[in-house]
């Protein structure tokens, strides 16, 4: 048994996902010696290997298949392509490989040392890293950034080893497209996969534990998504609670407390996530995670130990890759210079890749009503936009919420094709200081035609006409 190697760093980042990458790159730009502890053999984290990248690549492949099958020229020829789930999933692998190669180059170029293996705190300033070959490293640092991400929550009463029971980490390994499917949990993950599998003609039960799906979104957007999901054939069950699951060789039966029984080929459990803090030895560093394995942080992303920071999914909401990256940069700037004011960590946009997709930034109508803010709404329906008609994607809308008196933009909500791209125009104007954040920008600006972006001009005029 060899003695462990001793290594000294200014900053150790635990996890090489978006949060860890943001922190590592920012810290090394400040001249810090940075070490990254990553348990997976490749960098990128759950975002690249298990979640965002593979699921969005799969979604794009499904969309391409739908476009071909719905094209009039192919319909006339009687062509209807059927592609297996495995083949669709394979298209995602090349994207993952490209992402890993690119992100690996960031670490190499910036002389950030990556320590592959399982890390565990020895005390508040040292980590023990056990490598795959059995060797070990003792890593010392003045500061730590915990960016270990999260994993799907797995209740003990469900056998996830059964070949017909999946969570969001394992669903992409499906050997073939099922005919029927039950998804438990109508959060972001549940809704995204419901859209994907419905587009593959899978008969779907979507079980929602709440009265409404995606309650944090604008009510009008929620209702629109629910309508279009039902319209495509998704069977939604709201305000239901899981009681037990029966598994068989060829199907599963989910029993709900209301007495309903849902029989399907497979189950996708998509109800909650847990922080990846097990085995990190947090107690030895003076940290205690909550029951979901998450860490509490202050406004600077410092834990109860001021020299240890935590970012990304391991601190809970908003659990977005985009948020994790900016939080990582914020934390690294704060630990280095104590100055992180230039980062905009408020008004982080939400992007949900359902079919059609959803994106929003700023306040919802419900929040503004509760705060007694005198606001008005401007709408643009996609069915009236030339670009949406050309693309054959008429479903959707853009709504702008603005102050009746000052015309300040308070929130932007979008539902439909390219929503996650369109939202950034509104985000850019909302971020302008003082009177530059104004509805008038959209009215007085010339947009390319035909584009989806011109929805801003249409919505702005629609709202302005209500107050003037």
Q: How far apart are CA 109 and CA 62, in angstroms?
A: 36
* 245 burial via Cβ count (<10 Å: 0-12, 13-18, 19+): buried
Q: Which CATH number fits domain 5-152+274-337: 3.20.19.10, 3.40.50.1370, 1.20.1050.40, 3.50.50.60?
A: 3.50.50.60
**Quick count: other Cβ atoms within 10 Å of Cβ 297?**
20
The fold of the 165-271 domain, in CATH, is FAD/NAD(P)-binding domain (3.50.50)
Dump strand ranges (E) for 15-164. Answer: 34-38, 113-116, 118-123, 126-130, 136-146, 150-152
pLDDT of 50 reads: 84
Whether 140 contacts 115, CB under 8 Å: no
Give the β-pairing of 375-381 and 396-403: antiparallel
Sign, CA torsion 4/107/168/87: negative
98: left (phi over 0), alpha (psi -120 to 50) or beta: alpha
Q: How far apart are CA 19 and CA 324, in angstroms?
A: 4
pLDDT on residue 302? 92
Q: How far apart are CA 186 and CA 360, in angstroms?
A: 18
DSSP code of residue 302: B
Boundaries of every domain in the chain: 5-152+274-337, 165-271, 356-467
Taking only Cα atoms into account, the Rg of the chain, rounded to an integer number of angstroms, comes to 24
pLDDT of residue 150: 93
Average pLDDT along the chain, 468 residues, taken 10 residues at a time = 81 94 94 94 86 88 79 72 78 86 92 93 93 90 95 92 94 90 94 93 95 91 93 94 94 96 96 91 92 91 94 89 91 82 73 93 96 97 95 93 97 96 96 94 95 97 93
The pTM for the full model equals 0.91
Domain at 356-467: CATH code: 3.30.390.30
| Number of residues in the chain | 468
pLDDT of residue 77: 72
DSSP letter for 386, please. H
Decide if 55 contacts 25 (C-beta within 8 A): no
CA distance linking residue 349 with residue 212, whole number of Å: 21
Handedness of CA 176, 181, 185, 190 (dihedral sign): positive
Domains 5-152+274-337 and 356-467 share a fold: no
Q: Which residue has the tokens 């600077």?
A: 300
């Amino acid at each position: 048994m060899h003695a462990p190697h001793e290594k000294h760093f200014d900053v150790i980042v635990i996890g090489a996902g978006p949060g860890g990458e943001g922190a590592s790159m920012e810290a090394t730009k400040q001249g810090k010696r940075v070490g990254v502890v990553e348990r997976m053999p490749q960098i990128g984290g759950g975002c690249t290997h298990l979640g965002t990248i593979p699921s969005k690549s799969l979604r794009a492949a499904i969309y391409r298949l739908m476009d071909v099958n719905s094209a009039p020229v192919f319909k006339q020829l009687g062509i209807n392509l059927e592609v297996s789930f495995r083949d669709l999933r394979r298209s995602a692998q090349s994207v993952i490989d490209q992402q890993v190669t690119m992100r690996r180059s960031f670490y190499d170029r910036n002389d950030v040392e990556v320590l592959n293996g399982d890390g565990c705190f020895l005390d508040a300033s040292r980590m023990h890293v056990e490598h795959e070959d059995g060797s070990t490293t003792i890593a010392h640092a003045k500061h730590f950034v915990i960016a270990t991400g999260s994993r799907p929550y797995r209740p003990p009463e469900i056998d996830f080893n059964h070949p017909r029971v999946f969570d969001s980490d394992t669903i992409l390994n499906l050997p073939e497209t099922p005919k029927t499917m039950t998804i438990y949990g109508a959060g972001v993950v549940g809704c995204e996969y419901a859209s994907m599998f419905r587009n593959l003609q899978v008969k779907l039960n979507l079980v929602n534990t709440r009265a409404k799906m995606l309650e944090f979104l604008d009510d009008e957007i929620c209702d629109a998504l629910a309508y279009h999901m039902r319209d495509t054939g998704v069977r939604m069950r709201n305000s239901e609670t899981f009681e037990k699951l029966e598994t068989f060789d060829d199907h599963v039966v989910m029993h709900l407390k209301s007495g309903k029984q849902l029989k399907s080929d497979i189950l996708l459990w998509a109800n909650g996530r847990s922080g990846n803090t097990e085995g990190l030895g947090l107690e030895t560093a003076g940290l205690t995670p909550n029951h979901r394995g998450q860490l509490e942080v202050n406004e600077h992303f410092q834990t109860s130990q001021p020299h240890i920071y935590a970012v990304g999914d391991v601190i809970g909401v908003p659990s977005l890759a985009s948020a994790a990256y900016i939080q990582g940069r914020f934390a690294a700037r704060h630990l280095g210079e104590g100055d992180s004011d230039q980062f905009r960590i408020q008004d982080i946009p939400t992007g949900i890749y359902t079919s059609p997709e959803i994106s929003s930034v700023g306040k919802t109508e419900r929040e503004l009503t509760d705060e007694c803010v005198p606001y008005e709404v401007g709408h643009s329906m996609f069915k009236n936009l030339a670009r949406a008609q050309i693309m054959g994607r008429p479903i959707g809308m853009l709504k702008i919420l603005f102050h009746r008196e000052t015309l300040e933009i308070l929130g932007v909500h979008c539902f439909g094709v390219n929503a996650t791209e369109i939202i950034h125009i509104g985000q850019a104007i909302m971020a302008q200081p003082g009177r530059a954040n104004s509805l008038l920008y959209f009215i007085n600006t010339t947009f390319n035609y035909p584009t989806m972006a011109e929805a801003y001009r249409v919505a702005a005029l629609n709202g302005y006409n209500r107050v003037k």
